[in-house]
Amino acid sequence: MNHFDYKNGELFCEDVAVADIAKVVGTPFYLYSKATLTRHFQAFDSGFSMIDHITCFAVKSCSNIGILSLFSGLGGGADIVSGGELYRALTAGIDPKKIIYSGVGKTEEELRYGLESGILLFNVESEQELQRLDAVAAEMKMKAPIAFRVNPDVDPKTHAYISTGLAKNKFGIPIQDALDLYIQANEMENIDVQGISCHIGSQLTLISPFVETLRKLKVFTELLVEKGIAIKYLDLGGGVGITYDDEEPPHPQEYAKAIQEELEGLQVTLILEPGRVIVGNAGIMVTKVQYTKTNHGGEKPKHFVVVDAGMNDLTRPSLYGAFHSIAVVRQKDTPLQTVDIVGPICETGDFLGKDRDFPLVEQGDLLAVESAGAYGFTMASNYNSRPRVAEVMVSGSQFQVIRARETRESLIQGEIIPQFDE
């Protein structure tokens, strides 16, 4: 459930008409509902209230500090994958003791920054990373708290680009090789082994792959205990899916129940890294119709609605063939037409929706691209030298820009016309 609803044929975000925001902010923009963000965070987090746990929001899904600070206020931590995300999380006021750091390619500088900041755990993804972290920690006269990210070889049954827990994926350490590494790490001066972690993929619509993963981790954890290696944290990653179209993902509470049942008897603090399930349906992207056109010459006429947002602003349709529902902000009773909704970018792959039965729209109409809160703005680029769009948050009857629209000047910031000696 979210707080984007029609009232008298007009789309509202909580108590604010989306069209009123567009008048002030211009288009395109991302729009988030504070009540929905809060509700989704709490619905997820409260599912685990019976056990010791930390909900570490996956910053990569939506990294605006206005949103991170909201989750921080609700008791959330952060799952980060870069020094940039660590900076955002700390700036937003997230407790470093609730920050965990994943990712296969952490640089020395990033490891140092994580250690300096006193984060809870590094999720180490290779033997070389372990050695590098040990060396950096030694230099800093510290002990680095770690978990290994193991790759359980479980099929998450999702899009190939976003499955991460299969043996053929680059992530984690194959579970059969992990024991040796744990033993090695346990003997290292500057490493403090504390946990085990995994993340098998994103946009999962089934609970069973999570349960299968947890079973494998449990067996492995028992093996570690036998070797005298105590595990304090078990991190199950993120991945719970949302409804974009007709998917039927598990309700977060249902997911929580299944995980808790499976965890029974294990004395660990559970770490969760949800992203999409919290923010995905708490945000939309609003765009304006620039032109409509019909190309004849094919078997049948092809109708296009050209809008002012493109694949640089929301890349999921182009990159993954992902479906995002698109709706008119002011409902119309014009006849339906099958259209492609496309952006201004010079690429055929620049579309937001294909073959949609859509009411006839005209120049200036506003459209809402739904379920855009996760991996929307965070994956936006400046391709075609387009300034990144504004981000706006609504709370009740108020709205606030939480990231200003970039300007032409910001596009070339840092660029230099070189002056070489001839």
Contacting residues toward ligand LLP, per CB under 6 A: 58, 61, 79, 102, 162, 164, 199, 202-203, 237-240, 273-277, 316, 320, 374-375, 379
Best CA proximity match to 197, nearest among 161, 158, 239, 256: 239
Among 56, 62, 198, 346, the active-site one is 346
| 351 Rama sector, left if φ>0, alpha if ψ -120 to 50, beta otherwise | beta
What is residue 163's DSSP assignment? B
Establish whether 346 is a catalytic residue.
yes
Q: Of the two residues 106 and 276, which places its CB atom closer to ligand LLP in the complex? A: 276
DSSP code, position 388: P
Bridging pattern class, strands 53-58 and 269-272: parallel
Q: How far apart are CA 357 and CA 159, in angstroms?
A: 25
Q: C-beta of 64: minimal distance to ligand LLP in Å?
A: 15
Name the residue nearer to ligand LLP (CB basis): 28 or 201.
Answer: 201
Task: Indicate the residue among 14 and 273 with the shorter CB distance to ligand LLP.
Answer: 273
Q: Which two tokens stand for residue 162?
A: 């976003």
Cβ nearer to ligand LLP, comparing 203 with 213: 203
Radius of gyration, CA atoms only, the chain: 23
Minimum distance from residue 60 beta carbon to ligand LLP (Å): 6
The DSSP annotation for 359-383 comes to E---TT-EEEE-S-SSSSGGG---T
Which residue, 102 or 395, has its beta carbon nearer to ligand LLP?
Answer: 102
From residue 181, how far is each of 123, 125, 277 by CA, in Å? 13, 11, 33
Closest separation in Å from C-beta 235 to ligand LLP: 9
Which amino acids are annotated catalytic? 346
